[in-house]
A and B are shown apart, each in its own frame.
Chain A
Amino acid sequence: MELTYEAAMEQLEKLAKEMENGDIAIDQLATKLKEAQQLLQFCKDKLTKADEEVRKLLAE
């Protein structure tokens, strides 16, 4: 199942809440942070870049 923008945003909100509540162990911090950054980039790209299939369509 491909990740959707809405699902990514939901995950991000959850992550931010976990961090705010201090629910994250320091050992997990790097992993979680990396995950968050990937999700943030994914969402930004969704808003600002053409999807793969659209690029193909446009190229045709």
Chain B
Amino acid sequence: MTLFELNHIVRSVLETSLDEEYWVEGEFADASVGFGGHFYGELVQKDAQGRNIIARARITCWARNYNIISLRFQKETGETLRRGLQVKLQVRVTFHEQYGYALNILDVDSSFTLGDMARRRKEILDQLQQDGIINDNKELSMPLLLKHIAVVSSAGAAGYGDFCNQLEHNDYGLFFHHHLFPAVMQGTNVEESVMTALAAIADEADCWDCVVIIRGGGATGDLSDFDSYPLAAAVAQMPIPVIVGIGHERDETVLDFVAHTRVKTPTAAAAFLIDNGAQQLARIDDIQNRIMQDVSLLCERQQRLIEQLTMRLTSAPRQRLLTEAHHTQMLQNRYMQSARFLLQNEKLRLENLQARHLALDPALQLKRGYSLTYTADGKLLRSAKDLQPGDQLLTRLADGNVTSKVEMAS
């Protein structure tokens, strides 16, 4: 019997005794797309400790089918069918005389892989929680000034170029000093490589305001490489805030949970930094405006005070002059009035006096029948006692004088 004949028997037995298809769980130990777009790889099962492989099978997926299911798988999980991935596959068992035993993939269960990834993430997060470090980085306060940026990325990555470009050509004239700490951002070396970069930054932490871990967009799987406990712990324990933007719209990694700030893409990371700077500039403008306003208010108030003082200083003397003038006028009026009054009074008095004087005029008295008698020596006779018989008297009457001689005085 030839080997071909034997293999042909095996093939026939398998084809007749096995079901059309099976759902099988395993891990891709190898996965690649080969000539003609067909998918080739190896599915393995490890022991409970995950150390030793206890089962192994070659796997294939024809290009036409692979294109359909890999696209859908990527859309649903954000992952590619790659090495290290836990998968649940719908397969048909094949045996080819020339190539031997293989499982041909008919379909792949996205929810199984998602569940497995979520379970791994949860285990890591639980462990971080248990170790009490899960919020360490989040609890750091983000500096107001984000200027010195330590970047962990790979130099060739498109996302890194976008990031730098955006920072350097921002609309606000902000200056950023960014420096690349190169790391592998894809594949199994991610953990070690990123941790080395982080350690280098931590060594000179006082030179940097924050760390930015970015990876170019595109949906090129491998995101679960970031789901690593040591890496997450390193991020959590960075002494300065970490911003992650590892370019994935749908899915998240444990780094998103431990980093201070998570953004979706490198571009978003740059936008975050620029926004922060723009906010600070706006704040500075605001303070400047407030201060200028206060100063002009203070100056205005002072100006008003000076005006008021000036007014008071000039108005007081003027008022005083007015008052004085008024006072003088008043006095003048009063003097005039009193003078007039005095004159009037005097005039009355004079008239009165004149009247009284007239009444006393001796001529008038003489006319009334009174007479004036003088002694010989010319004195007005006022008393009989002054007379002696024989004294000569002169009596004045209204119309003439009479001379007489005293005969008797009593």
Residues in chain A within 8 A of chain B (CB atoms): 4-6, 9, 12-13, 15-16, 19-20, 22, 24, 26, 29, 33, 36, 40, 43-44, 46-51, 54, 57-58
Q: Does B6 contact A (CB under 8 A)?
A: no
How far apart are the CA atoms of A57 and B175 in the complex, in Å? 15
**Binary CB contact string for chain B from 121 to 164 against chain A (1 if under 8 A, 0 otherwise):** 00000000000000000000001110110000000000000000
Q: Does B96 contact A (CB under 8 A)?
A: no
Given contacts A24-B298, A43-B280, contact A6 B291 (CB under 8 A): no
Chain B residues with CB under 8 Å of A4's CB are 145
Q: Does B277 contact A (CB under 8 A)?
A: yes
Q: Interface range on chain B: under 10, 10 to 19, 20 to 34, or 35 or more?
A: 20 to 34
Do the beta carbons of A20 and B288 come within 8 Å of each other? no
Chain A residues with CB under 8 Å of B145's CB are 4-6, 46-47
Given contacts A16-B291, A36-B291, A40-B287, contact A47 B280 (CB under 8 A): yes
Number of A-B contacts (CB under 8 A): 72
Which of B143, B175, B287, B302 lies in contact with A12, CB distance below 8 A?
B287
How far apart are the CA atoms of A19 and B288 in the complex, in Å? 12
Do the beta carbons of A19 and B173 come within 8 Å of each other? no
Q: Does B405 contact A (CB under 8 A)?
A: no
- Looking at chain B's contact residues, the main secondary structure is helix
Chain B residues with CB under 8 Å of A16's CB are 287, 290-291, 294
Q: Closest CB-CB distance, A22 to chain B, in whole Å? A: 7
Which of A13, A22, A24, A46 lies in contact with B147, CB distance below 8 A?
A46
Chain A residues with CB under 8 Å of B281's CB are 44, 47-48
Do the beta carbons of B291 and A47 come within 8 Å of each other? no
How far apart are the CA atoms of A46 and B177 in the complex, in Å? 11
Do the beta carbons of A19 and B175 come within 8 Å of each other? no
Which of A22, A33, A48, A49 lies in contact with B291, CB distance below 8 A?
A33
